[in-house]
């Protein structure tokens, strides 16, 4: 079942997720619906608060797709490729976070906006899988970034909260005033942001 993905400034996105005591059939069904919703939205991760459920549950699948649309491990890091995806993770907790990286993030709850966010390069995350069994995921690459992004949602935090005050307020005001850009406007915005960064980099060099 496809679920509705809440968008900023929906207050439900600000609620903290509650730890689950055990993985009940209802929670397992929720995780399956979240995976279906994530694929339907072409997302690579989804957290329960994004579908209005205040529980500590995230789902992810960062694998790229081949020409036939099948998931592949091509282009993934060795660690990332070794993790079986899609991932269902209840009560995720970061045990180790090492080194720094940056990535241009987006979010299904803030569609059309893409900004560079600082994250740890390597993480080890403990949690429970879809069957309630303890698991540890050790990874870097996009999967590590995505894990940190989704875990932020469980704290009621969005990637736009991690930007500079100026950038963050500008985006929030724009959404509150004008709503979300169309898919076309969003694509344009994304390529313009790339150009700006490229120009800034060239100037710096
Ligand atoms: Zn998100």
- 26-76 pLDDT per residue, tens: 999 999 999 999 999 999 999 999 999 999 999 999 999 999 989 999 999
Cα gap 79→56, rounded to integer Å: 24
Cα gap 205→202, rounded to integer Å: 5
| pLDDT (0 to 100) of residue 205 | 66
The percentage of the chain sitting over the pLDDT mark of 90, rounded to a whole number, equals 86
* Ligand 1 midpoint to CA 21 (Å): 24
* Ligand 1 midpoint to CA 197 (Å): 22
| DSSP strand pairing (45-47 vs 57-60) | antiparallel
CA 41 to chain centre: 12
| Cβ-proximal residues to 50 (8 Å cutoff; 6+ apart), any chain | 5, 6, 13, 108, 109, 153
Q: Kindly report, residue by residue over 82-109, the tens digit of the pLDDT.
A: 999 999 999 999 999 999 999 999 999 9
* Ligand 1 midpoint to CA 69 (Å): 23
| pLDDT (0 to 100) of residue 204 | 67
| pLDDT (0 to 100) of residue 154 | 98
For each of the domains in the chain, give its residue range(s) and CATH number, in order of start. Answer: 11-104+118-158 (3.90.45.10)
* Ligand 1 midpoint to CA 108 (Å): 6
Residues classed as catalytic? 150
Residue 181 predicted with pLDDT over 80: yes
Q: Are 158 and 8 contacting, i.e. CB atoms less than 8 angstroms apart? A: yes
pTM to 2 decimal places = 0.91
* Ligand 1 midpoint to CA 192 (Å): 22
Cα gap 27→22, rounded to integer Å: 9
Q: What is the mean pLDDT of the chain?
A: 94
Q: What is the mean pLDDT of residues 169-184?
A: 92
């Amino acid at each position: 079942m496809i679920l509705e993905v809440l968008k900023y400034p929906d207050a439900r996105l600000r609620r903290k997720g509650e730890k689950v005591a055990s993985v009940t059939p209802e929670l397992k069904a929720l995780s399956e619906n979240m995976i279906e919703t994530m694929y339907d939205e072409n997302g690579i991760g989804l957290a329960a608060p994004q579908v209005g459920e205040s529980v500590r549950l995230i789902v992810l699948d960062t694998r790229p797709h081949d020409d036939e649309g099948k998931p592949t491990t091509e282009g993934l890091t060795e660690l990332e490729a070794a993790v079986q995806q899609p991932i269902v993770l209840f009560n995720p907790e970061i045990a180790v976070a090492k080194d720094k990286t940056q990535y241009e993030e987006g979010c299904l709850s803030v569609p059309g906006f893409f900004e560079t966010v600082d994250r740890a390069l390597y993480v080890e995350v403990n949690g429970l899988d879809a069957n309630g069994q303890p698991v540890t995921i050790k990874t870097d690459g996009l999967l590590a970034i995505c894990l940190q992004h989704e875990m932020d949602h469980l704290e009621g935090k969005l990637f736009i909260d991690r930007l500079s005050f100026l950038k963050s307020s500008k985006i929030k005001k724009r959404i509150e005033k004008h709503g979300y850009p169309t898919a076309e406007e969003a694509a344009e915005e994304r390529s313009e942001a790339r150009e700006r960064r490229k120009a800034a980099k060239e100037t710096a060099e």
